[in-house]
A and B are shown apart, each in its own frame.
Chain A
Amino acid sequence: MSSASKHIVSDRIFILVWLALLALTGVTVAVSHIDLGPWNVWLALSIASFKSGLVIAFFMHMKYENRLLKGFFFCALLTLAIFIGFTFFDVHYR
């Protein structure tokens, strides 16, 4: 039952995460006005990944879930990475 595994995350943590997300959005916008060449995309993607990491870990409770679910999530991400990555064996070398 849920009550056995009920884990209530404190509101304080949620608000801190939200503030961090807002700050990171600010950083994303700021660095987008500096021309770093191809690094702009990679930097933006890194920040976006970090932001989604925060959303997943805290808002979506992944940090408090068991190893099985974490493993599944990793598999899903890996699958997506393979789909994108392997396409570039074609696109990059064409």
Chain B
Amino acid sequence: MSEAAHKDYTGAKLGMWLFLFTELILFGGLFILYAVYLHRYPAEFAAAGSELNEVFGAANTLLLLSSSLAIALATSAIQRGAKGRTLWLVGATIASALIFMVNKYVEWSAKIGHGLYPDGPAMLERPPGEIAFFSLYYITTGLHGLHVLIGGALLVWVWLRVAADAIHAEDYVALENSGLYWHLVDLVWIFIFPLYYLII
């Protein structure tokens, strides 16, 4: 069946949104656990949360918010047919994804270096509530990091397609949908930041 006959932008966008709902609810499962364990161990969560590095968290927040802006601007740019500007903005978003992952790497390795990881020696000395906090922290930020990687890879593909003129002012739904995915990554982080780094 010919692809051209099937181009339905509204349908493609609807499909992407439905997929984003599933991502939202996937993370939702972890937020259910967070809510329940916070309810049970408020003091332990506050104590453990204060050990996370607020500066790293805030820096990554700024990074994601700004990259979200960049990819939103890129969508407008491609709609106007500004190819060079689009490439530049998508490139900036990819760079943010990379810096984010480097930050994450530094942050995780510091913790792991101190034996603070699931089943690690420093972890098991802690009271149960703090273990739950750190386990959730690793799983949630790990899953989020995986999404940053997937989003970054998607944007590399988009960048190449824009460069090859396969994505242009008349056909940009691939960029728009990848942008939506990237915003989702940002959205999840908007909740992770206060709930893990700033909890008192």
Q: Do chains A and B touch in the complex (CB under 8 A)?
A: yes
How distant is the Cα of A42 from the Cα of B31 in the complex, in angstroms? 14
Given the known inter-chain contacts A32-B198, A58-B72, A76-B21, please indicate yes or no for A91 contacting B36, CB distance below 8 A: yes
The residue from B25, B40, B170 contacting A76, defined by CB atoms under 8 A apart: B25
B39 to chain A: closest residue by CB: A91
* B61 and A60 within 8 A (CB): no
B1-45: which have CB < 8 Å to A? Answer: 7, 9-10, 13-14, 17-18, 21, 24-25, 28-29, 31-32, 35-36, 38-40, 42
| Distance to closest chain B CB from A31 (angstroms) | 9
Given the known inter-chain contacts A18-B66, A84-B35, A87-B32, please indicate yes or no for A55 contacting B187, CB distance below 8 A: yes
Residues on A close to B: CB < 8 A?
Answer: 1-3, 5-6, 8-11, 14-15, 17-18, 21-22, 25, 28-29, 32-33, 35, 38, 40-41, 44-45, 47-48, 51-52, 55-56, 58-60, 69, 72-73, 76-77, 79-80, 83-84, 87-88, 91-92
Residues from chain A with a CB closer than 8 A to the CB of B36 are 87-88, 91
Residues from chain B with a CB closer than 8 A to the CB of A76 are 21, 24-25
Residues from chain A with a CB closer than 8 A to the CB of B72 are 9, 14, 58-59
What is the number of residues of chain B that contact chain A, defined by CB distance less than 8 Å? 51
* B195 and A52 within 8 A (CB): no
Residues from chain B with a CB closer than 8 A to the CB of A21 are 65
Residues from chain A with a CB closer than 8 A to the CB of B195 are 41, 44-45, 48
Residues from chain A with a CB closer than 8 A to the CB of B18 are 72
* B17 and A72 within 8 A (CB): yes
* A92 and B200 within 8 A (CB): no
Label chain A's interface by main secondary structure. Answer: helix
Q: Decide if B99 is an interface residue (CB 8 Å cutoff).
A: no
Residues from chain B with a CB closer than 8 A to the CB of A69 are 13-14, 17
Supplied contacts A25-B65, A59-B179, 15 more A-B pairs, CB within 8 Å: A21-B65, A29-B54, A40-B199, A45-B195, A51-B190, A55-B187, A59-B69, A60-B179, A69-B13, A76-B24, A76-B25, A84-B28, A87-B35, A88-B35, A88-B36
* A5 and B10 within 8 A (CB): yes
The residue from B28, B76, B170, B198 contacting A28, defined by CB atoms under 8 A apart: B198
B170-198: which have CB < 8 Å to A? Answer: 170-173, 179-180, 183, 186-187, 190-191, 193-195, 198
Given the known inter-chain contacts A40-B200, A55-B68, A59-B69, please indicate yes or no for A22 contacting B79, CB distance below 8 A: no
* A2 and B173 within 8 A (CB): yes
A-B contact pairs, 15 of them (CB 8 A): A2-B9, A2-B173, A14-B73, A22-B62, A28-B193, A29-B58, A33-B200, A40-B200, A52-B187, A55-B183, A58-B72, A73-B17, A84-B35, A87-B36, A91-B40
